Amino acid sequence: MKKFELSKDMLKEDCLIKFNGIKFLKGFIYVIFGDSGTGKTAFVVSMSKEVLKKEYACIIISTELKEQDRDRFARLMDRFKNLKIYYIEKFSDFEEFVKNNLEKIIKKLNAKLVVIDSFSRPFQNYAEEKSSFVSGKEKAKKVKDLMNVIRMIAHDTGCTFVLTTHCYRKYFFTKTTVVPVGGSGLLYLSDQKFWIRFAKNPVHRIIRKYIDDTEVLVKINSFGEIEFEP
């Protein structure tokens, strides 16, 4: 298994946290993608906990509203007072929050990390809210517009963003590529993408850098969190 290697340019950047071999830089946008149940939420909860331990403020936007996720976030809230959690399901509310409220809240709290879990869910609800057919092109434009807003916020505030999303598979002859849900807007307007998948051992997960062969093996503990290694 080839280890993550950081470029000289990345090493010069200001680092928020190094989490299980991945260096998260201030002002960068990261995407964690994978199938259901692979540990995307476990990863961002565990990472958030380490950032909160450093006494940095953190914002979590939860869009899937699963009971299990609410329990995880509630445990964090009980422990850390420098954490704000927002539960947003409807696309219109999500769009309004990101465009008009998020940057103000980041600056007020001096937050260093924003987690959106999951970034793709509100877009899946978009067609239901409109009660009409929504083309792929229209969805892609919405993704691109919001990603541009997030890029500007990250640049202006120096806040690190971590977005989770599901994935799908593209088949081309004998080759299969796993791609994050979100289209080109998510792919090209984020800084780094990581695919999380199951390992042979059920308590382990493999995190692989997108379009790369570097990967790291992580372990999920009995609390459903990924164990931290600096």
Tens digit of each residue's pLDDT (9 = 90 or more) over 74-112: 888 899 999 999 999 899 999 999 999 999 999 999 999
Q: How far is Cα 58 from Cα 116, in angstroms, rounded to an integer?
A: 11
Q: How many domains is the chain partitioned into structurally?
A: 1
Task: Report the pLDDT value the prediction gives residue 1, as an integer from 0 to 100.
Answer: 40
Asked whether the beta carbons of 100 and 146 are under 8 A apart, the reply is no
d(CA 179, CA 109): 34
3-class state of residue 32 by DSSP: strand
What is d(CA 151, CA 94) in angstroms, rounded to the nearest whole number? 16
Domain assignment present for 140: yes
In a domain, 138, yes or no: yes
Place of tokens 């980041």: 106
Comparing 19-23, 53-57, 58-62, 162-166, which segment has the lowest mean pLDDT? Answer: 19-23
Per-residue model confidence as pLDDT tens digits over 152-206: 999 999 999 999 999 888 887 777 788 888 888 898 999 999 999 999 998 899 9
- Is the previous residue joined to 118 through a cis bond, with omega within 30 degrees of 0? yes
Whether 95 is in a domain gets the answer: yes
**CA separation (Å) from 38 to 34, 157, 161?**
6, 31, 20
Domain of residue 136 covers 26-219
Q: Which of 39, 36, 37, 14 is nearest to 25 (CA)?
A: 14
pLDDT score of 124: 79
CA–CA distance, 129 with 113 (Å, rounded to integer): 29
pLDDT at 6 over 60: no
Helices (H), the chain: 8-12, 40-53, 67-79, 91-96, 102-109, 121-130, 136-157, 183-189
pLDDT at 60 over 90: yes
On whether residue 1 sits in a domain, the answer given is no
**Region 18-40 average pLDDT:** 91
Task: Flag whether 4 is in a domain.
Answer: no
- Which stretch of DSSP H or E encloses residue 205? strand 204-209
* Mean pLDDT value across the chain: 86
Indicate whether 133 pLDDT > 80.
no
Q: How far apart are CA 39 and CA 226, in angstroms?
A: 8
Give me the pLDDT at residue 5, please: 45
Residue whose tokens read 């598979």: 169
Query: The domain that contains 122 carries what CATH number?
Result: 3.40.50.300
Tell me what pLDDT residue 112 has.
Answer: 97
Distance CA 102, CA 221 (A): 32
Examine the pLDDT at 62 and tell me if it is beyond 80.
Answer: yes
Does residue 230 fall inside a structural domain? no
Residue 15 lies in a domain: no
DSSP secondary-structure letter at 226?
B
CA 222/CA 203 separation, integer angstroms:
9
The 10 Å CB-count burial string (b at 16+, else e) for 105-114 is ebeebebbbb
Within a domain: 42 = yes
Residues of the chain above pLDDT 90, percent: 48
